[in-house]
């Protein structure tokens, strides 16, 4: 899906920011950058991803080739730092811990069995007045509301909690790279938090793996912690269909409030959506 090519001997790789890897603003989806870094390290001989983080320094534009390399100061692939460049400029840095994951998981904390089954949840729909390219990452992911965002989009701050069931349309294994991509839907909580149609541009993304999910669906339960000067702090838990915690995510994101060009019908308000990065 990423189109990633890797030379393990040279610890180098590359991929192109093709249309299906873009956000609704026409640049690389943040989760795809993190996913590429994880997949790159693992293709170079790294073990299972335990934790990974990326900081975005420059947007990657449509069609640009991103070149990846392991930082020479990294002491092996168990603790890896990845440099990503495009057209000679540094676009993001990623780091992570890669280790052999035990099959035994000690559970602590709430399960995700509170959520209705995805088969009984309504699909996430985008308002007809919201214009953006729809052939990017959102075309790859089926979305259903487990806990919908508010429908009274009047600009008043809300609770900031929403939950989405997510399923990748190309049926790929739900490994760490795929979870990194899906976790970048977390800014959906901005709708509930701001009371506006809102989108986010990732400034940094983090993913912590608990255990591999069972099945095709992942529940992303997100909360917006704070928004200061249009920068939001967002965190979330990811569960599989059985209610088991599989990963946690967090990110800092730049908030974009999207207003309709003219008064819209209530029918549009009943399908809240975010143009998620």
Give the CA distances from residue 76 to residues 173, 244, 256, 262, in Å, rounded to whole numbers and listed in that order.
26, 32, 39, 56
The pair of three-digit structure tokens given for residue 28, joined into one six-digit string: 């690389």
Assigned CATH for 118-269: 3.10.129.10
In this prediction, residue 263 carries a pLDDT of 58
In this prediction, residue 165 carries a pLDDT of 98
| pLDDT in 10s for each residue of the chain, 277 residues | 999 999 999 999 999 999 999 998 899 999 999 999 999 999 998 888 999 999 999 999 999 999 999 975 555 678 899 999 999 999 999 999 998 766 666 667 788 999 999 999 999 998 888 888 888 999 999 999 999 888 788 888 888 899 999 999 998 889 999 999 999 999 999 999 999 989 899 999 999 999 888 999 999 999 999 999 999 999 999 999 999 999 999 999 999 988 777 654 444 444 444 434 4
In this prediction, residue 272 carries a pLDDT of 44
In total, the chain counts a number of residues equal to: 277
Rounded CA gap, 51 and 176, in Å?
A: 9
Q: Does this model's pTM top 0.85?
A: yes
Chain centroid offset of residue 126 CA: 18
Give the CATH superfamily of 5-99.
Answer: Hotdog Thioesterase (3.10.129.10)
Same fold? 5-99, 118-269: yes
Rounded CA gap, 126 and 261, in Å?
A: 15
250: β partners: 206, 235
In this prediction, residue 106 carries a pLDDT of 65
**In the chain, where are the structural domains located?**
5-99, 118-269
Q: Tell me how far apart the terminal alpha carbons of the chain are, to the nearest angstrom.
A: 18
In this prediction, residue 73 carries a pLDDT of 55
In this prediction, residue 62 carries a pLDDT of 96
């Amino acid at each position: 899906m990423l189109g990633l090519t890797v030379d393990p001997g040279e610890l180098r790789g590359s991929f192109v920011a093709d249309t299906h890897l873009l956000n609704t603003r026409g640049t690389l989806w943040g989760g795809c950058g993190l996913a590429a870094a994880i997949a790159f390290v693992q293709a170079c001989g790294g073990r299972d991803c335990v934790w990974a983080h990326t900081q975005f320094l420059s947007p990657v534009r449509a069609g640009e080739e991103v070149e990846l390399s392991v930082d020479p100061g990294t002491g092996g692939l168990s603790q890896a730092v990845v440099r990503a460049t495009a057209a000679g400029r540094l676009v993001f840095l990623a780091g992570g811990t890669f280790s052999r994951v035990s099959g035994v998981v000690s559970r602590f904390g709430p399960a995700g069995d509170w959520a209705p089954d995805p088969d009984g949840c309504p699909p996430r729909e985008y308002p007809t007045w919201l214009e953006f390219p729809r052939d990017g990452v959102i075309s790859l992911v089926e979305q259903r509301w487990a806990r919908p965002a508010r429908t009274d989009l009047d600009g008043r701050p809300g609770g900031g909690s929403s939950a989405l069931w997510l399923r990748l349309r190309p049926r790929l294994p739900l490994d760490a790279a795929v979870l990194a991509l899906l976790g970048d839907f977390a800014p959906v909580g901005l709708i509930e938090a701001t009371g506006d149609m809102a989108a986010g541009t990732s400034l940094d993304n983090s993913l912590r793996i608990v255990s591999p999910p069972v099945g095709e669906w992942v529940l992303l339960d997100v909360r917006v912690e704070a928004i200061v000067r249009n920068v939001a702090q967002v965190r979330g838990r990811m569960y599989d269909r059985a209610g088991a915690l599989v990963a946690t995510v967090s990110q800092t994101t730049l908030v974009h409030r999207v207003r309709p060009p003219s008064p819209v019908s209530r029918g549009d308000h009943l399908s809240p959506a975010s143009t998620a990065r």
